[in-house]
């Protein structure tokens, strides 16, 4: 098995390190987080890879089996910060317009 970051990229997750998000009235740059963590909020899934880099995906586009495999294969712990969840996941869903969960 390869690195978590490679797996996330192969599965179509987006690395959002250095992206800006609006948090209230403030624009904030997304940085590193706690490595090997994941969480879900407002339709957005977030995983922080082996170096603490944030990856996101709309929950509508990840099957339960796929997420379970990720969590178990890489021993991910729940409790990650979830970028882009303050708009209900609207922005993230625009990045994944074609493939939906089966």
Question: Per-residue confidence of the chain (102 residues) as pLDDT tens digits?
Answer: 689 999 999 998 999 999 888 777 788 889 999 999 999 998 899 999 999 999 999 888 888 999 999 999 999 999 999 998 887 777 777 776 655 444
User: Which pLDDT score is estimated for 94?
Assistant: 79
pLDDT at residue 50 in the model: 97
CB 42 within 8 A of CB 91: no
What was the pLDDT predicted at 93? 77
Enumerate residues 6+ apart whose C-beta is below 8 A from 58: 43, 44, 45, 89, 92, 93, 95, 96
Strands of the sheet with 54-58, listed across from one edge? 14-15, 54-58, 44-48, 37-41, 77-78
Strand ranges (DSSP E) for the chain? 14-15, 20-23, 26-29, 37-41, 44-48, 54-58, 77-78
């Amino acid at each position: 098995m390869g690195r978590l970051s490679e797996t996330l990229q192969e599965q179509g997750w987006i690395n959002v390190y250095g992206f800006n998000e609006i948090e209230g009235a403030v624009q904030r740059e997304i940085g590193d987080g706690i490595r090997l963590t994941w969480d879900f909020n407002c339709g957005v899934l977030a995983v922080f890879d082996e170096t603490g880099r944030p990856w996101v995906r709309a929950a509508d586009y990840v099957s339960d089996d796929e997420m379970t495999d990720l969590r178990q294969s890489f021993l991910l712990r729940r409790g990650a910060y979830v970028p882009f969840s303050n708009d209900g996941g609207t922005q993230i869903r625009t990045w994944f317009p074609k493939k939906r969960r089966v």
